[in-house]
């Protein structure tokens, strides 16, 4: 049985593989989208939670007006270290922080932004309440979440392939966590419970995930996410064998050369 607590652990070789494989595969299109939405509001101070290795941070550093201050936080220091090492074209404050216990004053940010992070928060209402606490009056929380796994073709193919490799105990990290918080009604309830009184706005955005070969997404998902820990905890097949099985499944579905699959997410805007 996998422990959900391990879903939030991004350490070891995961940050580097996450940044080199998963970021260009699925995160960059939505990072540019989110950065444009933030910049359009002309904020003076922006807080990013669950910043990871900084794909949105870098996009916002390019898109935000020169006067805007940007603070990027994440629970996992190794992810922030990777983001800081890659760097940004303008100064950014990188700070380790738990989104459910933010170390910032009340009403100190115009916008709180989070890309594909809220699914990992064990206390989503608490994290939303903290975002609301640090927002100034009239500010906004902008975040995105992955849609159901069936709408995200590489993730679905990998999960199905691993169920064949480990039929007695399939690794379900992708379905359980990254793709486990897509229901609009549930998200709206959590935001209301956190004190957001204005009905949130949702927009569903589909994009394409492309790679030069089937092996790239197989490595990205199997070795660049906490799915790796689930695979390594099982007997019967090692990480390399499981990764190869996923690559074969992706190639069978999308072709032996460059691969192209659908990804889909919800963008959520909650006004304070």
The pLDDT, as a whole number, for residue 14 is: 67
Inter-residue contact 158 to 246 (CB < 8 Å)? yes
112 forms beta bridges with 47, 141
Domain covering 4-271: architecture: 3-Layer(aba) Sandwich (3.40)
pTM across the whole model: 0.92
The mean pLDDT of the chain is 93
List, for residues 211-269, the tens digit of each pLDDT value.
999 999 999 999 988 899 999 999 999 999 999 999 999 999 999 999 999 999 999 99
Query: With bands split at pLDDT 50, 70 and 90, how would you rate the model's confidence at 11?
Result: very low
119 forms beta bridges with none
Question: CA 37, CA 269: separation in Å to the nearest integer?
Answer: 10
Q: Which of 1-10, 46-55, 256-265 has the lowest mean pLDDT?
A: 1-10
List, for residues 61-91, the tens digit of each pLDDT value.
999 998 999 999 999 898 899 899 999 989 9
Question: CA 112, CA 80: separation in Å to the nearest integer?
Answer: 17
Closest CA to 10 of 89, 69, 83, 109: 83
The pLDDT, as a whole number, for residue 1 is: 45
Give the list of residues 6+ apart from residue 24 with CB closer than 8 angstroms, or none: none
List, for residues 117-143, the tens digit of each pLDDT value.
999 999 999 999 999 999 999 999 999
Cα maximum dimension of the chain: 55
Q: Which two tokens stand for residue 7?
A: 């879903």
Q: Which two tokens stand for residue 168?
A: 């007695």
Q: What is the mean pLDDT of residues 110-123?
A: 96
Inter-residue contact 115 to 141 (CB < 8 Å)? no
């Amino acid at each position: 049985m996998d422990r959900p607590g391990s879903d939030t652990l991004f350490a070891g070789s995961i940050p580097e593989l996450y940044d080199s494989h998963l970021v260009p595969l699925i995160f960059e299109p939505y990072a540019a989208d989110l950065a444009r939405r933030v910049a359009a509001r002309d904020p003076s101070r922006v807080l990013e939670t669950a910043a990871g290795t900084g794909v949105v941070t870098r996009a916002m550093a390019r898109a935000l007006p020169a006067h805007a201050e940007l603070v990027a936080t994440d629970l996992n220091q190794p992810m922030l270290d990777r983001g800081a090492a890659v760097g940004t074209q303008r100064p950014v404050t990188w700070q380790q922080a738990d989104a459910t216990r933010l170390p910032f004053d009340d009403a100190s940010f115009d916008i709180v932004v989070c890309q594909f992070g809220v699914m990992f928060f064990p206390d989503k209402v608490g994290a939303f309440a903290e975002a609301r606490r640090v927002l100034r009056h009239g500010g906004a929380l902008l975040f995105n979440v992955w849609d159901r796994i069936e709408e995200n073709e590489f993730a679905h193919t990998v999960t199905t392939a691993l169920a064949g490799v480990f039929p007695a105990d399939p690794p379900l990290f992708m379905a359980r966590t990254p793709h486990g918080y897509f229901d609009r009604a549930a998200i709206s309830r959590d935001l209301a419970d956190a004190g957001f009184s204005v009905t949130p706005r949702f927009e569903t955005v589909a994009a394409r995930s492309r790679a030069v070969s089937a092996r790239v997404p197989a490595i990205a998902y199997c070795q660049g996410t906490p799915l790796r820990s689930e695979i390594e905890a099982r007997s019967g097949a090692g990480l390399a064998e499981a990764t190869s099985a996923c690559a074969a499944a992706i190639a069978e579905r999308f072709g032996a050369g460059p691969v192209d699959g659908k990804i889909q997410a919800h963008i959520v805007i909650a006004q304070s």
